[in-house]
Amino acid sequence: MKLITAIIRPEKLDDVKTALFTQEVTGLTVSRVSGHGGEKEHLETYRGRPLVFEFHEKVRLEIAVSEPFVERTIKAIVESARTGGVGDGKIFVQQLDSVVRIRTGERDNDALTPVV
In this predicted structure, the answer to whether residue 55 has a pLDDT above a threshold of 50 is yes
Q: List the chain domain ranges.
A: 2-112
- What does residue 84 show for φ and ψ, rounded to 5 degrees? 95, -5
Which 3-state string (H, E, C) describes 80-102?
A: HHCCCCCCCEEEEEEECCCCECC
- The overall average pLDDT reported for the chain is 90
- Please, is 27 exposed, middle or buried when counting C-beta atoms within 10 Å of its C-beta (0-12, 13-18, 19+)? middle
Compute CA 59 distance to the chain's CA centroid, rounded to the nearest angstrom: 7
Of the chain, the percentage scoring pLDDT greater than 70 comes to 91
Q: Does domain 2-112 have CATH number 3.30.70.120?
A: yes
Q: What local confidence, expressed as pLDDT, does residue 90 receive?
A: 96
Q: What is the mean pLDDT of residues 34-41?
A: 76
CA distance 17 to 60: 12
Q: What is the pTM of this model?
A: 0.84
